[in-house]
Amino acid sequence: MQVNYITPAVTAFDSQGHVDMEANKKLYDHLINNGISGILILGSIGEFYAISTEEKKRLIQQAIAYIGERAAVYVGTGTTIFEECVDLTNYAVQEGASGVAVISPYYFTHSDEEMFDFYAKLAESTTGNILLYNFPARTGYQLSADTVLKLAKKYPNIIGIKDTVGEMGHTRELIQVVKKESDQIF
């Protein structure tokens, strides 16, 4: 399946604050019926931070089963606890996700070396495709082009980046630095 567009999807909740799967199915149908070939669930706009791990797993399983082959499904699996991130990543891959998007650890500022180590350890702990998720306005840290390049060169399961930035300068630098040496991410 060729994926031309991946859009992040909001997560619909019921009046008790739980995931409303029927409403989410309607949203997935709407996106697919309007040409979206890839859907990211549980990203920032999908309120991953406000959903329990148990409910995330239920949403992952049901969304992937419902969407089936109609679109690629990517899952945001970032958490503040590394072991939970690995568990959720492996669960999403086992359920059939096309890949995962993992936001950089947030709350504390990290060095390039720490970010490399985080994503390297994650890439070594799962067989699934990983999209790096750069969102400096929420994490306090920007993934550098050099770090992304080092990761892309070493880990074939790191396949892309979700670059959520306010200005195109960082994205332009990623393209110039990474694409020149690796087609893996672009």
The active-site residue out of 56, 119, 150, 162 is: 162
* Mean of the per-residue pLDDT values of the chain: 92
The active-site residue out of 91, 119, 133, 141 is: 133
Q: What is the pTM of this model?
A: 0.92
CATH code: domain 6-181 is: 3.20.20.70
Reported as a single tens digit per residue, the pLDDT across 8-17 is 999 999 999 9
Tell me if residue 28 is catalytic.
no
Tell me if residue 37 is catalytic.
no
The active-site residue out of 44, 98, 104, 144 is: 44
Tell me if residue 133 is catalytic.
yes
**pLDDT over 70 at 1, yes or no:** no
DSSP-based three-state secondary structure for 15 = coil
- Categorize the per-residue pLDDT at 170 as very low, low, confident or very high, splitting at 50, 70 and 90: confident
- Categorize the per-residue pLDDT at 184 as very low, low, confident or very high, splitting at 50, 70 and 90: low
Reported as a single tens digit per residue, the pLDDT across 86-136 is 999 999 999 999 999 999 988 788 899 999 999 999 999 998 999 999 999
Domain ranges of the chain: 6-181
Q: Is 15 exposed, middle or buried (0-12, 13-18, 19+ CB in 10 A)?
A: exposed
Report pLDDT for 106. Answer: 83
Taking residue 67's Cβ as centre, other Cβ atoms within 10 Å add up to 20
Tell me if residue 162 is catalytic.
yes
Percentage of the chain lying above the pLDDT 70 cut: 96
Please compute, for residue 111, the number of CA atoms within 13 A of its CA located in the half-sphere on the CB side: 3
Which residue, 150, 43, 162, is CA-closest to 92? 43
User: Residue 40 and residue 160: Cα distance in Å, rounded?
Assistant: 13
Report pLDDT for 2. Answer: 65
